Amino acid sequence: MNKDSIDSIISCTTDGFIASTPNLERYIPCSKEIFSLMYYEMRLSLTGKGELLERKYLEPKGVISWRTRGQLGLSGGIKALTGYQRNESIDQTIKKVFDSINSTKTIPFIQKSLRSAKEVYQKGGHSTLKLNERNFNLKFDNRREIVEDHGTYCTTKPFVHNLNSIQARLISSFGSGRYRVYSPISSTQCKGDAYLSLTRRMLVRLLRDDLAQNLNLNLTRIEIARLMKYVGLSCSLNFISKQKNKKVIYNSIPPTTKTLEVLEKFNLYFPSFDKNLLLRT
C-alpha cells in the first residue's frame, strides 16, 4: 500500500487500514508479490470473489486522525478509539477530541469494570462494581515520520530505516504512562459503594477548583471536610489534599437514589450549581 499508492494512507493496522484510494476492493496484486497473491487466490477459491480487499465503510465527510489506532470519522462510521468506547453521540465525541487536541491532548473518563476473580479470592467479598478514572491519550505515537506541518494537521509517511523508527518510538516513550493509549489516574477502593466514592471525589474537586473559581470561593480543607460531612460523604483532610489539580469529570456520576440524595444536599449550599452537569446521561 505505501509503496504503490499515490493516494493518502491514513492508517495501517493488522486487519484493516484507512485510505483515500478509490475502488480498493478491485485491487489485484502483481504476480511478484507472492503473499498477497496467495491470499487473493485462496479467497477466490473459497468465496468465488476476486477480491484481495473488502471495503467496510465509506466516510463521506472526513476523518480526524492523531495516531495509528486513533481515528474518528466525522459521520460516525469510523470510530477507532482504542480504550475509549463511550455511550455518547458522535458530536459529543468530536467536540471532546477537538478540545483535547487543542489543549491537554487527554480526555478524562470513567471506566466501569467488575472486581476480578483473583481479587475476590485474595481479598474476599463479592464481584462488585469498580469505577476507575482513566485518561484517554491523543498524543502522536511516532509510528510514522512527519513529512510536513500544515498548521492544523501534519502529513506523514512510513519510516524508511528501522533505526529511525526505533529512535522516534523511544522519544515518544518519555514520560512512560502519560504516553500510553489510556493511563490510570486513580481508582476506587473495592470496598463500599463505588458510585458514592466517585461522587465524593467529584464534589471535592468542584470545591477546590471549578466551583471555587466560578463563585469566587476560597474554602479551606477543614471547611470542605465539614461540607462533605453534611452531604453525607465524610472525607479526611489528606483525601482533600490528594484531589488538588485533578479535574472534574462531568457527566460521570450514575443517577442512583444515594447519589441523587447527596447532590440534592449539595445543592442546598450551592443552589446556582446545576447538578445535572455531573450526572451520567
Output the average pLDDT for the chain.
82
Q: In the structure grid, which three cell numbers stand for residue 191, read together?
A: 470496598
Q: What is the pLDDT of residue 201?
A: 93
Burial letters 57-79, b for 16+ CB under 10 A, else e: eebeeebbbbbbebbbbeeeebe
pLDDT, tens digit, 9 for 90 and up, residues 57-114: 888 888 888 887 888 999 988 888 877 877 788 898 999 998 988 888 888 888 888 8
| Cell 458510585, located at residue | 195
Task: Specify the pTM.
Answer: 0.68
Q: Integer distance in angstroms from the first to the last C-alpha of the chain?
A: 42
For 143-176, write each residue's pLDDT tens digit.
888 888 887 788 888 888 888 888 887 877 765 4
